[in-house]
Structures are given as C-alpha cells and as structure tokens.
Amino acid sequence: METGKLELILGTMFGQKTTELILKLKKFEHGSNYEVQLFKPTIDTRYATNEIVTHDGLRMNALNANNASDIVDQINPKTSVIGIDEAPFFDSELIEVIKRLVYDNRKIVIVSGLLYNFRNEFFQFSDGQKDMSDLLALIPDEIVYKKAFCKHNLRTGEDCNQETMMTQRFMPNGTVAPYNDPLIMLGKENITPEEKANLKRTYSPRCREHFKHYDEVLRK
C-alpha cells in the first residue's frame, strides 16, 4: 500500500522556494497516476489571485484557502499530491491538517514557506499559536533549504553575496523595521493611499555578519 510523504521547502525570501515547489509539482503532474492540487493563502494576491507566481515569472494554477480547514474542504478525493505555498500565512491548524493528510490519507504533501521572520525567529502561523518549528517536528521525509545571497553593499560597491537564510525588513525611509512591526503585511484592506505607502516594506537577504539583530536598542 502506498504511504504518505511530507516534503518541506524552507528558506528565506528570494531563495526560490516557490520555484522549487512548482517544479516538484509539475514533475508529479507529468508523471503517471498523479493528480495534483496546489493551495495558496487567500490573502496573498501579490502577483495573481488564482495562481502562484515566482519572482522570475514561473506560474502555476492554485486554489485559494482562507485557513487550513479550507484546504481540506477543497481536496479532490482523486488527488495524490498536495502542494501548499506560504505555509506561515495559514493558521496553526495547518499542522494537524498536514498530519492527517500524510498519515491517515496517505497523501504526498509538499509545503513551502519562510522558516524565519524578519526578526530571525521561527515564523509564527497567522494565529500565533504555533510556528514553523512545529512543522519541522512532524519529521518530514525530505527538507530542502533554499538560501539567498546577502545583498549588503560593501565599501567596494559590490554586494556581500554570502549565502544566508536570514531576511532583513526595511521601512520606507531605509531604516530597519522595528521589532514590533506586524509579522504579516498582506491582507490590509480599506486603507487610504497614504496608509498604503506607509505600509510598504522592502526586504533584503542578510548574512550573519550584516543582519542587524534586535538587541535591546532595536526592540524599543
């Protein structure tokens, strides 16, 4: 009897996590006897509403889910392989949903998401009850860590380019975002253009040397 399997694709922003997810799913799609479904959080409308799209334009059709239980409600009984993008944007119920899909329903589940937040802490799920370390505790069959290159500009004018798993968040004026900045900036509705501009944040990969840690000064 075919057994379930859990694969995780974890890393930093700009590490090509979604690219890896799409390529894995398309490989199953092109194989025999595999029905594939891909899910994304409804709040993620950055590039498209019914697709996931990478920074370099690779795309794949996806179903929107408001929460983890919404994923279960939309699964086709014939589906063998389930992809889940941007895992931390779902609620903590995602942990139990994945366990049931893998252990009880014997599905192949491939999950992609940020491992750490901009504070360099395990990324919490949207309800704050659990974090990505709980996903690691499910003992996945495979983990792919996707790194990016540090974009800190050196005095030579070149980027540092050390591989890293950390991402720094910056405010519109270029300063490091405060520790108490909201973890998830997506899904803000009914706001003025000025408020929208104030919500804009930029992100850049930073290595251990160039990541500005949130010590007591930056926490204030």
Domain positions in the chain are 5-146, 163-219
Rounded to an integer, what distance in angstroms lies between the CA atom of residue 14 and that of residue 11?
Answer: 9
Bridge partners (DSSP) of residue 6 are 109
Residue 212 has pLDDT above 70, yes or no: yes
Which member of 2, 7, 51, 86 is catalytic?
86
Active site residue 86: yes
CB 199 within 8 A of CB 188: yes
Q: Does domain 5-146 have CATH number 3.30.1330.10?
A: no
Average pLDDT (186-196) is 55
d(CA 43, CA 66): 8
Judged against a pLDDT cut of 90, whether residue 94 lies above it is answered with yes
According to the model, what pLDDT value does residue 216 have?
46
* pLDDT the model gives residue 31: 77
Strands annotated E in 157-206: 163-164, 167-170, 202-205
What is the DSSP pairing of strand 5-11 with strand 108-114? parallel
Q: What is the pLDDT of residues 49-64, one digit of tens each?
A: 888 988 788 999 999 9
CA of residue 117 relative to chain centroid, distance: 10
Q: What percent of the chain has pLDDT over 90?
A: 69
H helix or E strand, kind and range, residue 215: none
Over residues 189-200, the mean pLDDT reads 56
